[in-house]
Amino acid sequence: MKINAIKVSQPLGEFYIAKIKAGDLLNISTSSITRYDETGKLRGNQRRLDEKRLKAIANFIKSSEMSFPTSILIAANIDKEGRIIEGENDRWTVRQINSSDVYELIIPDKISSLIVDGQHRLNAFRYVDQDYMDIELVCSIFIDLPNPYQAYLFATINSNQKRVDKSLALELFGYDLDNEPSNTWSPEKLAVFLTRRLNFSKDSPLYQRVKLAPLYSEISETVDRNKWLLSTAAMVEGIMSLISTNPQKDRDLLAIKRKSIFGNKTRTILENNHKPILRNLYLDSQDEELYSILKIFFMSVNAILWKDAPNNSVITKTIGISVLFDILKVIIEKDGAQNSYDSYMRSIKDVDFSSHYFALSGIGKTRLKRILKYRLGFLKDTDLKEDDVKFI
């Protein structure tokens, strides 16, 4: 399916306004209902559908006064569990039309998006006849919207709704944007905070380089937008990988284990198995130290790997960012945190990051990780695959 959309740029990031028929949207979207699985773990980020409310909305849909002027919020390329969909044929893609703010969205004919807000309006169409499925709905579409930002938007949109809406987002994702002490932040919230700080601090190597949308951003005339397509999702997930092996478990424990509003909710209640490598800094709320490590590391990456990288260099793409975080973990594990990572980056500078050997897929990421670890001296010849040897 193909639809036209208008791109909107706001401080949080870029999104697209489009109209989609109700029947089509039902076929390509899902929602993540809050539930406990068989192990007792809390899943999802939305309240259960209220059948009475659905039927009331359905009656409104069938009336001659029916109108839904407000938009349904969609996270494209996100599955039911809140994870980014990786398969090339399973993702929404965006194409600019005639150098304007009008874009063409190409949508796979399968479930490939998550409804962040508006699930009752949409699902009410399941209670009406097929004739109503052609009704057009206004949609605000975010591409690759990370889990924490889904909660932030959900909480903001529903701040004036009944209490359960906002509480659900606050409890599941730890969002009290004005009052929550930083030592109560979940790994997700801290990762979002550090990502945004890296993006908005003028002395950061990632200043104005991180955006929600994977397309060009009107952020500064001095920025070469052809080279800077850093994924917020990749940054957030990369930072979380440094401080937690199970961010959802940490988040749930912080939400559940408290006697008062903030009394026992600090990070100190979380398990410390010394994994991953910077777990201790997270538990001790040494956020400045975490930020410093990230800033110093990416200063070296920026100066040596990113500065002159061509547009098709995988090192500036999502899998490149992910592998860089893997490399950082190995360096710190073997040699400790550094005052400069220049020598490490110089040892991998001559790798051909534009090679088809690192195609944007799971196997490309695995290959890139092996090659870089080998060049850094963390793998032996025997750890390489036959194709790796040919590439080197």
Burial class (CB in 10 A: 0-12, 13-18, 19+), 80: middle
How far is residue 207's CA from residue 223's CA, in Å, rounded to a whole number?
10
pLDDT of residue 360: 60
DSSP 3-state of 46:
strand
Residue 152 structure tokens:
């932030």
pLDDT of residue 40: 38
DSSP assignment of 20-40: EEHHHHHHHEE--B-EE-TTS
Listed in sequence order, the residues at least 6 apart from 219 whose beta carbon sits closer than 8 Å to its beta carbon are 208, 211, 225
Are 71 and 122 spatial neighbours (Cβ–Cβ below 8 Å)? no
How far is residue 192's CA from residue 264's CA, in Å, rounded to a whole number?
23
Burial class (CB in 10 A: 0-12, 13-18, 19+), 233: buried
Cα separations in angstroms, 217 against 101, 206, 233, 299, 303: 12, 14, 16, 22, 22
How far is residue 84's CA from residue 75's CA, in Å, rounded to a whole number?
10
pLDDT of residue 339: 96
Burial class (CB in 10 A: 0-12, 13-18, 19+), 114: buried
DSSP assignment of 277-296: TTHHHHHTT-HHHHHHHHHH
pLDDT of residue 33: 59
In the block, residue with structure tokens 């870089």: 372
How far is residue 149's CA from residue 155's CA, in Å, rounded to a whole number?
10
Spell out the per-residue pLDDT of the chain, length 392, in tens: 999 999 998 877 789 999 999 999 999 999 865 543 444 344 454 567 889 999 999 999 998 779 999 999 999 998 887 788 988 889 999 999 887 889 999 999 999 999 988 989 999 999 999 999 999 999 999 998 877 677 667 666 665 444 333 334 333 443 443 457 888 888 988 888 888 889 888 999 998 888 643 333 344 444 444 545 577 778 888 999 999 998 878 876 776 654 444 455 789 989 888 789 999 999 999 999 999 999 999 999 999 999 888 888 999 888 899 999 999 999 999 999 999 999 999 999 999 999 999 976 678 999 999 999 999 999 999 999 999 898 88
Report the candidate in 139, 135, 117, 115 with the shortest Cα–Cα distance to residue 125: 135
pLDDT of residue 37: 43
pLDDT of residue 176: 45
Listed in sequence order, the residues at least 6 apart from 40 whose beta carbon sits closer than 8 Å to its beta carbon are none
In the block, residue with structure tokens 């440094």: 242
Are 301 and 324 spatial neighbours (Cβ–Cβ below 8 Å)? yes
How far is residue 316's CA from residue 312's CA, in Å, rounded to a whole number?
8
For residue 200, the one-letter residue type is F
How far is residue 54's CA from residue 22's CA, in Å, rounded to a whole number?
14
